[in-house]
Amino acid sequence: MSLVDLDGLLATARAARSRAYAPYSEFRVGAALDAGERVFVGSNVENASYGLAICAERAAVAAAVSAGHREFRAIAVAGPDGALTSPCGACRQVLAEFNPEMTVVFTTPEGVTHMTVAELLPHYFGPFV
């Protein structure tokens, strides 16, 4: 299995960001999830009932799982350029379900960084099936 191309994954997340539906917050986010032989993308999908917004990360996980993929190596998240866009708490828990050691690439005002899901969410709820 090839090494994960984190720069390429972030570029794919940025492309997915262009398809975000975020008319309420105008905070557009794209995610790219490396599932080994395939990469799945997601973007945030908001709703007039604000609490129903779906984050880009969870949209990508849902697309991958729906296509039969559950083994994830890395996810890249791209929000507005220069904004801190690390996964929200709910998304961290969803990512932990599939691989707490997954690499998460995201942007900060200082630049691009990466860490594992377990680093982002210590003591995540489990155990898993």
Residues marked active site are found at 57
Does residue number 87 form part of the binding site for ligand THU (CB under 6 A)? Answer: yes
> Reduced to 3 states, what is the DSSP secondary structure of residue 125?
coil
Binding mask 25-44 for ligand THU (x = CB under 6 A): x-x-x--------------x
Q: Does 104 bind ligand THU (CB under 6 A)?
A: no
22 binds ligand THU (CB under 6 A): yes
| All residues at 6 or more sequence positions from 65 whose CB lies less than 8 Å from its CB, including other chains | none
- Could you please report the per-residue DSSP string of 23-46? TTT----EEEEE-SS-EEEEE-B-
Residue whose CB is less far from ligand THU, 47 or 101: 47
Answer yes or no whether residue 105 interacts with ligand THU by CB under 6 A.
no
- Report the nearest approach of ligand THU to the CB of residue 129 (Å): 25
What's the half-sphere exposure (Cβ side, CA atoms, 13 Å) at 83? 13
**CA nearest 93: which of 42, 51, 58, 44?**
58
Sheet containing 30-34, strands listed edge to edge, beginning at the edge strand earlier in sequence: 39-43, 30-34, 74-78, 103-108, 111-116
- Site residues for ligand THU, 45-84, by CB under 6 A, read 46, 53, 55-57, 77
Binding site for ligand THU (CB under 6 A): 22, 25, 27, 29, 44, 46, 53, 55-57, 77, 85, 87-88, 91
